[in-house]
């Protein structure tokens, strides 16, 4: 019998050793701490042939031990029940003393105040050992529970302690793993945040460079267009005279007509360049964007063709915008034609309006936008889209991907210039193969800006009043003098403001001052006009300019009481504006 006992004992020890080893290798592979603890409880109960076991984790804040994993228990025990981490419980005792705490028969041991689940599970004996763990405080305790009184021998306690030590190692490395995982997650988040910030900064830099480039191109274009306008003013004006003179000689008349047409095309071109350069004379007023868009869409419908569906999504509460309505119309037309060209095989064009707020975060990404309230008009097509490398160029004048006879590359440039000059914002989103959205943001009409009313007279009407012409460009001056005289007026000339004031200070009768806006010398046209009006309050004034300068066009807007004749002009325009100015 003693031999059999000894053999059984050896057998039991071997099994326990094997259980510890197997658990050790499981714990090494497993990353999830809860799985490790649950498996520990199970292996431990099996190894000691008891119906229950549990792992209690120490909670420093509450100074208690919470059952976090276990084997054999009914619901409501694991994760719920706690015991105090002091000598009042068997677990607390093992935890505080660090030595195994064994109760062979709880019914005899009255020192403990046990929670009801012990009785509910019929538990009468327990053994607890400490689980050390990686931190400065032990991790908790490992307990086995039996429904019979039991005297745990030295081997059992060794097994339990050995097991708890392996478990302590596993817990330490798992919590190191956990800590590592948390660090890795945090680092990942930081890297993502950094990438995001870099992306945003990259975008903002890109936007800034883009805005600077457009600014530079705009200035260059504006300068060229201004000079071109002066030249065209002479050509367009003189060709009319020439045409009349050669009216009876068909071959020459044809040449004159050709020059006239070419000049008209040139004038149209400079007008578009000025629009891009934000130097066109705008006449902004309060505009009901929805009705303008609706009207405009009626005109667009036939231009789009049968194969393109047009959808309107106009927000009911859309505010009024402060813009030049004819230029908005023009912009819509250009955008719609671009959409049409992008959908040769048909598709959908959606026109939307809405009240929109551009906030600081938008502005931080779009350096050329100003935060605030806007009326947005968006055109979305289902066309071929714009590749990224091209997108950054579409606003540049003369940039086109279309055939020579199909596109001039000025459409978007004009829209861009108009929107910017109107204190608005424009943005293009495009996805190759899916389509393009162009959004224009128009400033709200806060006050009621009055449009400039120019009375129109049918036919060319001259007069006999005296007009003082101030123009520094000799070619233009000679030409204008000729035209004014041809309309029956008396004309006086001055090269600059000084000369003009000398004439005004003299005895000459003068009805109208017709002055260029930009002149060499200390005074511009507006300042000359102010000085002249101080001397002769009854004097009428008509301005002319290749483009609109700040002095006359406040922020690109015409002062309400100012009459401006934009260069180049036809004699009929000159005649009409002279009459309008004299009648003002």
Ligand X SMILES: Nc1ncnc2c1ncn2[C@@H]1O[C@H](COP(=O)(O)OP(=O)(O)OP(=O)(O)O)[C@@H](O)[C@H]1O
d(CA 22, CA 32): 17
What residues contact 250, with CB distance under 8 A and at least 6 apart? none
Coil, strand, or helix at residue 444? strand
431 binds ligand X (CB under 6 A): no
Binding region for ligand X (CB under 6 A) out of 89-97, 284-292, 403-411, 467-475:
403-411
Site for Mg ion in 332-351 (CB under 5 A): 338
Per-residue tokens: 410: 């000025």
CB of 377 or CB of 470, closer to Mg ion: 377
Q: Which residue in 17, 97, 183, 401 binds ligand X (CB under 6 A)?
A: 401
- Indicate left, alpha or beta for 531 from its phi (over 0: left) and psi (-120 to 50: alpha): alpha
Residue 399 touches which of Mg ion, ligand X, none (Cβ within 5-8 Å per kind): ligand X
Q: Is 117 in the site for ligand X (CB under 6 A)?
A: no
Task: Closer to ligand X by CB, 134 or 266: give it.
Answer: 266
What percentage of the chain's residues is helix, strand, coil (to nearest 5)?
45, 20, 30
Pull the structure tokens for residue 62.
Answer: 């509450």
Work out whether 53 is an interface residue with Mg ion (CB under 5 A).
Answer: no
Beta strand 82-84 with 64-71 is antiparallel
Name the one range near ligand X by CB under 6 A: 149-157, 243-251, 405-413, 501-509.
405-413
Please report whether residue 382 would count as binding Mg ion according to CB under 5 A.
Answer: no
Q: Verify binding: residue 334, ligand X, rule CB under 6 A.
A: yes
Beta-sheet pairing, 512-516 with 553-554: unpaired
Task: Based on the shown chain and the rule CB under 6 A, indicate whether residue 381 belongs to the binding site for ligand X.
Answer: yes
Alpha helical stretches, state H, 458-547: 474-486, 497-505, 525-535
**Binding partner selected for residue 339 from ligand X, Mg ion, none, CB under the kind-specific 5 to 8 Å limit:** ligand X
User: Which of ligand X, Mg ion, none does residue 45 bind to, with CB < 5 to 8 Å depending on kind?
Assistant: none
Q: How far is the CB of 400 from ligand X (least distance, A)?
A: 3
Identity of the residue, 394 or 517, whose beta carbon is nearer to Mg ion in the bound complex: 394
Peptide bond into 568 cis (omega under 30): yes
Give the DSSP letter string of 73-121.
Answer: PPTTSTTT-EEESSTTSHHHHHHHH-S-EEES-TTT-TT----THHHHT
Applying CB under 6 A, which of residues 47, 383, 443, 546 lies at the interface with ligand X?
383
Examine residue 399 and tell whether it contacts ligand X (CB under 6 A). yes
- Residue 142, interface with ligand X (CB under 6 A)? no
Min dist CB 409 to ligand X, Å, is 4
Residues numbered 397 to 456 that lie near Mg ion (CB under 5 A) are 411
For 30, 37, 159, the CA distances from 25, given in Å and listed in that order, are 9, 14, 17
Determine if 402 is a binding residue for ligand X (CB under 6 A).
yes
CA nearest to 168, candidates 131, 213, 114: 131
Looking at the Cβ atoms of 232 and 342, the one nearer to ligand X is: 342
- 279 three-state secondary structure: coil
Q: Does 412 bind ligand X (CB under 6 A)?
A: yes
Minimum distance, C-beta of residue 367 to ligand X, in the bound complex (Å): 22
Q: Count the residues of the shown chain that bind ligand X, applying the rule CB under 6 A.
A: 22
**Site of interaction with ligand X (CB under 6 A):** 334, 338-339, 342, 381, 383-386, 394, 399-402, 407-413, 436
């Amino acid at each position: 019998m003693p031999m059999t006992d000894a053999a059984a004992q050896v057998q039991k020890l071997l099994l326990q050793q094997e259980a510890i080893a197997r658990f050790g290798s499981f714990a090494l592979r497993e990353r999830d701490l809860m799985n490790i603890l649950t498996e520990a409880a199970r292996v431990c109960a099996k190894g000691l042939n008891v119906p229950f076991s549990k792992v209690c984790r120490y909670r420093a804040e509450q100074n208690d031990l919470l059952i976090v994993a276990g084997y054999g228990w009914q619901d409501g025990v694991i994760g719920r029940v706690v015991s105090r981490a002091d000598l009042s419980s068997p677990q607390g005792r093992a935890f505080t003393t660090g030595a195994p705490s064994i109760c062979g028969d709880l019914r005899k041991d009255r020192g403990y105040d046990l929670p009801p689940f012990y009785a509910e599970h019929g538990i009468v004996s327990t053994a607890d050992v400490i689980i050390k763990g990686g931190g400065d405080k032990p991790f908790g305790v490992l307990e086995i529970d039996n429904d019979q009184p039991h005297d745990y021998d030295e081997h059992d306690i060794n097994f339990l302690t050995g097991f708890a030590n392996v478990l302590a190692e596993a817990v330490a490395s798992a919590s190191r793993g956990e800590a590592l995982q948390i660090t890795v997650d945090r680092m990942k988040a930081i890297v993502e945040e950094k990438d995001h910030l870099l992306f945003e900064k990259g975008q903002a830099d890109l936007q800034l460079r883009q805005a600077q480039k457009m600014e530079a191109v705009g200035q260059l274009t504006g300068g060229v267009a201004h000079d071109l306008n002066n030249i065209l003013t002479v050509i367009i004006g003189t060709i009319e005279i020439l045409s009349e003179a050669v009216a009876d000689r068909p071959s020459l008349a044809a040449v004159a007509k050709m020059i006239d047409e070419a000049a008209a095309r040139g004038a149209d071109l400079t007008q578009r360049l000025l629009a891009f350069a934000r130097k066109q004379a705008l006449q902004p007023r309060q505009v009901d964007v929805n009705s303008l868009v609706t009207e405009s869409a009626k005109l667009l419908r036939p231009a789009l063709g049968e194969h393109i569906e047009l959808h309107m999504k106009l927000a009911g509460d859309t505010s009024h915008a402060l813009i030049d309505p004819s230029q908005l119309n023009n912009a819509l037309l250009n955008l719609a034609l671009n959409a049409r060209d992008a959908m040769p095989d048909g598709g959908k064009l959606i026109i939307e309006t809405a009240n929109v707020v551009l906030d600081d975060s938008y502005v931080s990404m779009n350096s050329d936008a100003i935060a605030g309230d806007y009326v947005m008009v968006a055109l979305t097509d289902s066309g071929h889209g714009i590749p990224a490398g091209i997108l950054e160029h579409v606003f540049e004048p003369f940039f086109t991907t279309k055939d020579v006879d199909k596109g001039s590359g000025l459409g978007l440039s004009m829209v861009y210039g108009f929107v910017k000059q109107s204190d608005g914002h424009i943005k293009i989103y495009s996805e190759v193969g899916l389509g393009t959205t162009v959004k224009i943001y128009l400033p709200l009409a806060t006050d009621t800006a009055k449009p400039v009313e120019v009375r129109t007279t049918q036919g060319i009407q001259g007069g006999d009043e005296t007009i003082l012409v101030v123009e520094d460009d000799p070619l233009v001056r000679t030409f204008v003098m000729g035209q004014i005289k041809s309309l029956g007026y008396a004309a006086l000339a001055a090269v600059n403001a000084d000369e003009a004031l000398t004439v005004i200070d003299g005895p000459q009768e003068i009805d109208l001052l017709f002055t260029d806006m930009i002149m060499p010398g200390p005074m511009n046209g507006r300042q000359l006009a102010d000085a002249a009006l101080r001397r002769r309050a009854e004097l009428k004034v008509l301005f002319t300019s290749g483009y609109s300068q700040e002095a006359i066009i406040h922020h690109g807007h015409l002062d309400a009481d100012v009459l401006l004749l934009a260069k180049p002009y036809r004699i009929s325009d000159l005649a009409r504006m002279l009459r309008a100015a004299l009648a003002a």
